[in-house]
Each structure stands twice: as C-alpha cells, then as structure tokens.
Amino acid sequence: MSRVLTIITGFAAVPLTSLALAQAPVSALKGHNPDAPIDVAADRIEVQDRADRAVFAGNVHVRQAELTLDTTRLTVAYSSAGSIQIRRLDASGGVTVKSPSETARGDFGIYDLDRKLITLIGAVQLNRSGSQVNGQRLTIDLNSGRAVVDGGPAGVGQSGGRVTGHFTVPKRGNQ
C-alpha cells in the first residue's frame, strides 16, 4: 500500500485515496452533479433579500441528488441577477454529509457550488466501509473526487494536530 503525505499550508494532509479508504477508486462524490436541484427543509426560514441570503434554522435537511446534509443552521448565499442561483451553503451546529457510501461529520460545513468544494471544519470524521479518518478539516473536490483530511494546528482538538485513522482490512482466503 503506498502512502502519500502532502503538506498544505503547514498542516499535514493525507489524501484518502492513498489509504485503505480507497477500497473504491476515489470518493463516492466524484461524479456528483453540483448542478442538480437543491431541496431544503427546516423548522424556520428567514429571507434576507437585500443581502441575497436565506437562513434556515432547526432540523435542517438538504438534499441534492444522492447527497444529503443535516445541520442545525444553514445560510444559503445566492445571486438574484435574473433567476436565483445558489452560490454557497454555510452550515453550523454540527454537520453531517452523506453519500450512498460515505458519511462525514464536522462542527461547521461549507459547500461552495461555484468551486464545487465541500469543506468540513472542526472534529471531522469521515467513515467509509468500516474505515474511519479523523482530523480537523476535510475538503472534498467534487470535480476530482479527491478527499483530503488535515489535522489542524498542534494542540487543537483531540487529534493534537495530527490525522488519525482506523482501517478495515479485507479478509483474504487461505492460500
């Protein structure tokens, strides 16, 4: 198994496709359609039209194709030139992002639809097929399907500035 270590802005980062999470070719989110319609349900919505944003609060559930996001509070930034175009989703209060084969959790989340990036920050946990990676920041590039977890500055969070993981090993037949 090859191990790749990259340095990103002073934090250690491990491309997950190089580890046991790579039981599938790359992230299941590769090929996700960020142009698919977005459905949002929540207990409350406040539209701030002059600021081109809407704030959803309480039991927020977002669905885009097979991707879901659950959180306590969601701010939707949009442009209203002509038709409304959603540009970015900012989630806080604990965030869970699920695809058919992966679940990611963090304290805060950003889904930048223009750049096709999903970022989770704070106490991040990524689970796939019984394997788990923990860190302080997870970035998923929807164009490439590449997922990167980094540990954050030393002393922040339980990981102590490091990425940790627990990986399942497929059972091999007796040979």
Residues 12 and 150 sit within 8 Å (Cβ to Cβ): yes
Please, which pLDDT band fits residue 175 given cuts at 50, 70 and 90? Answer: low
Question: In this structure, what CATH number is given to the domain that contains residue 10?
Answer: 2.60.450.10
Task: Give the span between the Cα atoms of 148 and 160, in whole angstroms.
Answer: 17
Residue 133 lies in a domain: yes
More confident residue, 37 or 3: 37
What is this structure's pTM?
Answer: 0.79
Residue 165 lies in a domain: no
What does the pLDDT look like over 66-110, one tens digit per residue?
999 999 999 999 998 788 899 999 999 999 999 988 999 999 999
Give the per-residue pLDDT at 92. 98
Domain assignment of residue 114, given as a range: 6-154
**For residue 30, what are its two tokens?**
């590769």
Task: Give the span between the Cα atoms of 108 and 144, in whole angstroms.
Answer: 22
Task: Give the span between the Cα atoms of 88 and 68, in whole angstroms.
Answer: 15
Given a cut of 80, is residue 37 above it in pLDDT?
Answer: yes
The mean pLDDT of the chain is 81
Spell out the residues 6+ positions from residue 115 whose beta carbon is closer than 8 angstroms to its own: none
**Amino acid identity of 151?**
G
**For residue 155, what are its two tokens?**
């002393």
Residues 39 and 65 sit within 8 Å (Cβ to Cβ): no
Residue 81 lies in a domain: yes
Q: How many domains does the chain have?
A: 1
Residue 166 lies in a domain: no
Percent of the chain residues topping a pLDDT of 90:
57
Residue 135 lies in a domain: yes
Percent of the chain residues topping a pLDDT of 70:
78
Torsion of CA 101, 106, 110, 112, to 10 degrees: -30
Give the per-residue pLDDT at 124. 95
